[in-house]
Amino acid sequence: MLLLVPAALAVLAQTPAPPFRADLDAGRYLKVLAEAEARLRPDPNDAGAWAAKSQALSSLQRFAEARAAAERAVSLKPGLAEALLARGLARAGEAIRQRDLGSLRGALGAMDDLRAATQADPTLAPAWMSLGLAYEMLPGLLGGSTRKALQCAERLRRVAPAQGDLLQALVLVEEDKWREAEPYFQRALAQAPQDPEVVGQWLDALDRRPAKKALGEAGKNARLLAEAPRLLPGVRTRARGVAAVVEAYLHGGNPEAAWRTAQAHLTQVDAPSLLRLQLGKVAAVSGLHRQEGLAALDQVLREPLEGGSSGYPGAWWRKGQILQALGRKEEARRAAQEALKLDPKHRGARELVESL
């Protein structure tokens, strides 16, 4: 599967890095969306802007719109790597959200697009990362392959060493090989301590079953509580990095530290809406600061939300949990129903409705 194209030839074959790529990699999705739409107003045939718009929409979990924008980009410039990546991400997002047999076709289509993106531009790091994870997550009958996932990690390492090590670590975690995965995480962290994705994936992996199995529950919690303050300085201005540290404190058993960390960095980060979402989660999970957490979620729901793994459905769900704990059951039910309007298969919101 690996393309044996000399690096210099690959560079010559490609156009300069798309103007949106740096902002997409940094997670500035609302900025990308606004700038892409501004570029499309005078020139609706700008394939690169359609591709960027699609990727931003996927990151904001607006997958149907993302798919439409990606299809436009591909129709305008069929061989554009960013357009193929955009369509692959949108298809994958739709497939994950559907969570039924009908999603298999979308998953297979996403794989085709991601492979095509790496062939169109072998230096496009996000395409290698997405393809490698897809190979690892899909069953063998649908084209999944750990061997191919590790090949993607090796290819990614050539253009983005920290990301390549991160992908290798994630694949090994999926294979329940924690002791083999950890050195790759540490290599990635040593190379990119300021990268929110590297920091976030490491802290998330520490809270997953392979780490718990290797370290024990107490050992896992101790590592989370030690790593959170160690890694925070490198990502203190990046909302996704700070959010990952907040999660580490929360899952490590120190919700008060999680709350203080989110509060202290609200004015320092690039996307404060993500930290307000975390304040709501901490309040809902721990029972601390419920009124303040509710106020934070209300603000999240009034303003644009810069991505986030749970997005608006998660904000409504967490609001419903807090309202239920405060004895405001009718309001809690309405909040859960709002979450289900946005994501009809949201498990937490469905369980909340059933409990009410």
pLDDT digits (tens, 9 = 90+) for 191-237: 999 999 999 999 999 999 999 999 999 999 999 999 999 999 999 99
Q: Are 349 and 320 in contact (CB under 8 A)?
A: yes
Q: What is the mean pLDDT of the chain?
A: 89
Residue 115: φ, ψ to 5°: -60, -45
Write out pLDDT tens, residues 16-38: 345 788 888 888 888 899 999 99
Contacts of 267 (CB under 8 A, 6+ apart): none
Same fold, 18-121 and 125-139+146-190: yes
Six-digit token string for 348: 């937490």
Token pair for residue 101? 């047999």
Please, what is the Cα angle at 337 between 323 and 277, to 5 degrees? 55
pLDDT-derived band at 93, boundaries 50, 70, 90: confident
Three-class secondary structure of residue 120 per DSSP:
helix
What are the residue ranges spanned by the domains of the chain? 18-121, 125-139+146-190, 193-283
Closest CA to 84 of 51, 107, 122, 132: 51
Binned at pLDDT 50, 70 and 90, residue 46 comes out as very high
Q: What is the sign of the dihedral through the CA atoms of 112, 172, 157 and 233?
A: positive
Q: How many Å separate Cα 201 from the centre of its chain?
A: 9
Its sign, for the CA torsion 225, 226, 232, 233, is positive
Give the C-alpha separation, 182 to 184, whole Å: 5
Between CA 276 and CA 201 the distance in angstroms is 20
Of 245, 210, 247, 240, the C-alpha closest to 227 is 245
User: Could you read off the pLDDT of 297-337 as tens digits, one per residue?
Assistant: 999 999 888 765 558 899 999 999 999 999 999 999 999 99
Residues 6+ apart with CB under 8 A from 292: 279, 283
Residue 278, burial from CB neighbour count under 10 angstroms (0-12, 13-18, 19+)? buried
Q: For 237-251, write each residue's pLDDT tens digit.
A: 999 999 999 999 999
Q: pLDDT tens digits for 101-127?
A: 455 666 788 889 999 999 999 999 999
Any idea of the CA torsion for 65, 70, 72, 73, to the nearest 10 degrees? 150
Count of residues making up the chain: 356
Going by C-alpha positions, the residue among 154, 198, 171 that lies closest to residue 3 is: 154
Phi, psi dihedrals of residue 242, rounded to the nearest 5°: -65, -40
pLDDT of residue 107: 76
What one-character DSSP code corresponds to residue 17?
P
pLDDT-derived band of residue 276, with 50, 70 and 90 as boundaries?
A: very high
pTM score: 0.85
* CATH of the domain spanning 18-121, picked from 3.20.20.210, 3.30.1330.60, 1.10.760.10, 1.25.40.10: 1.25.40.10
Contact indicator for 131, 124 with CB cutoff of 8 Å: no
Amino acid at 70: A
What's the token pair of residue 52? Answer: 């960027």
Contacts of 256 (CB under 8 A, 6+ apart): 288
| Fold exhibited by the domain 125-139+146-190 | 1.25.40
